[in-house]
Amino acid sequence: MKVMKFGGTSVGKPERMAEIRKLITKGDEPKMVVLSALSGTTNSLTEISHALATGDRELAKQYIDALELHYQNFIVDLVKSEKWYQKAKDVLAEHFEFLNIILKISYSDALNKDILAQGELLSTKLFSIYLHEQNISHVWLAALDFMTIDPSGEPQVESIKIKLSQILEKYQDTDIFVTQGYICRNARGEVDNLKRGGSDYTASLVAAAIGASVCEIWTDIDGMHNNDPRIVKNTKPIKHLCFDEAAELAYFGAKILHPASIWPAQHFKFPVRLLNTMDPGAYGTLIESESDSEGVKAIAAKDFITAIKIKSTRMLLAYGFLRKIFEVFEKYKTSIDMVTTSEVAVSLTIDNDSYLPEIINELEMYGSIDVDREQTIVTIVGYHITKTENVLAKVFSSISEIPVRMVSFGGSQHNISILVSHEHKEKTMQLLNDGLFS
């Protein structure tokens, strides 16, 4: 069986769903189809939730009505017959009734997760109705019946495997399954999710659980490009990446992949393919265990980084000192991306500043603290990049005009990371592109 995941733009229009139908009915291999919400839906649901959280029910109602109208128009073009149009209307009635009911309920984090789950439920139910009308035999599976996360938010791969195989056993003659990306249940049994962009993660977890031959991520671009195409001109698709390279790129901001979506493939040993729904013949990117070449492959950037410097007049690097500092971050479940040390100071970066005041408060015991917000980590990735001849010289001569705040080299053999102020991000990425790829 193979997993085929289609993202927001790939399901965002009725004609795109027709394209997906063609793709999932090709070939003999059974398919597990994982869908995201229609593009824009999760953003709208976030706005609804935010309006409710701030007590603005009127605004929330406006967002709900606008979203409902969007779906009403969508189903007019999705199905032809009265019978299936009526079924699609019933689906909308069910989910929009829910959204209207929550207007009367007091806001909580659990309710927020319930709201966010509506997008994937709607997209998969509507796609299933479309497939029924097209006489394509398939089974719709509720991800909430098998996708679970533990108390620290990590997916429970073994349990997912057991639950999913019990479900699949009931449908031995079925060739197409359709299920939701992104949504799951948490340790309290409530509806939860795998964070923004999480459908990629669902796809690779499901691929791990069913022992899939491949996990195909179908999106709106012909694979992983060598730089962020939203920012940099003349980017090109990369045909081949190894798991380490892809994982670094996803972690350091290449939006095409959820940051955690590679580890299941690496651990359970299945290839990942990034493919383009708009151009299904394009080769895309194949991600597998071996790398095909060494040296610079791609550049990515991660925004909303906060840099913290702890400066001490005392013996900063006396043993045990770094441990004490790291323990502060551990206590507040805040992970550190980059670290540099000198005789008198330690600089490090975090991407989640929810507990920044508490962290600073505790760090002040060890010295004076400087905080720089609005930073960006620009990462240059490639297999064994740190061993590549002259690579640092090329990187720094390309960006000689950019003030660099921190550099990390050698932490992994496959990346070089540079911290710059957000205002210099675009220029840094373009200059690196010109210097490293032209």
Residues that bind ligand ASP (CB under 6 A): 7-8, 36-37, 42, 119, 181-182, 196-200
Tell me the DSSP string of 47-100. HHHHHHHTT-HHHHHHHHHHHHHHHHHHHHHH--SHHHHHHHHHHHHHHHHHHH
Chosen from ligand ADP, ligand ASP, Mg ion, none, partner binding at 198 (C-beta under 5 to 8 Å by type): ligand ASP
Say how many residues touch Mg ion, by CB under 5 A: 2
Q: Rounded distance, CA 249 to CA 155, Å?
A: 21
Give the shortest CB-200-to-ligand ASP separation in angstroms: 6
Question: Does residue number 119 form part of the binding site for ligand ADP (CB under 6 A)?
Answer: no
Question: Does residue number 426 form part of the binding site for ligand ADP (CB under 6 A)?
Answer: no
Question: Does residue number 13 form part of the binding site for ligand ADP (CB under 6 A)?
Answer: no
Instruction: Identify which range of 41-49, 213-221, 305-313, 373-381 contacts ligand ADP by CB under 6 A.
Output: 213-221
How many residues in total does the chain contain? 438
Q: Rounded distance, CA 28 to CA 31, Å?
A: 9
- The two three-digit tokens of residue 365, written as one number: 């015991």
Question: Residue 268 in 3-state DSSP?
Answer: helix
Question: Does residue number 280 form part of the binding site for ligand ADP (CB under 6 A)?
Answer: no
Give the shortest CB-7-to-Mg ion separation in angstroms: 5
Give the shortest CB-386-to-ligand ADP separation in angstroms: 21
- Location of structure tokens 């080769």: 283
Instruction: Identify which range of 112-120, 137-145, 163-171, 252-260 contacts ligand ADP by CB under 6 A.
Output: 252-260
Instruction: Identify which range of 21-29, 96-104, 216-224, 420-428 contacts ligand ADP by CB under 6 A.
Output: 216-224
Question: Does residue number 197 form part of the binding site for Mg ion (CB under 5 A)?
Answer: yes
Contact predicate 74/126, CB 8 Å: yes
Phi-psi region of 269 (alpha: psi -120 to 50; beta: other; left: phi over 0): left
Residue in the shown chain whose Cβ atom is closest to Mg ion: 197
Q: Rounded distance, CA 39 to CA 154, Å?
A: 26
Rg (CA), the chain: 23
Residue number with CB closer to ligand ASP (160 or 395): 160
Residue number with CB closer to ligand ASP (197 or 382): 197
- Cα dihedral 400, 406, 410, 414 in deg (nearest 10): -70
In the set 49, 219, 398, 408, which binds ligand ADP (CB under 6 A)? 219
H or E element in which residue 11 lies? helix 8-11
Residue number with CB closer to ligand ADP (36 or 148): 36
For ligand ADP, the binding residues (CB under 6 A) are 7-10, 36, 197, 219-221, 224-225, 228-230, 254-256, 300
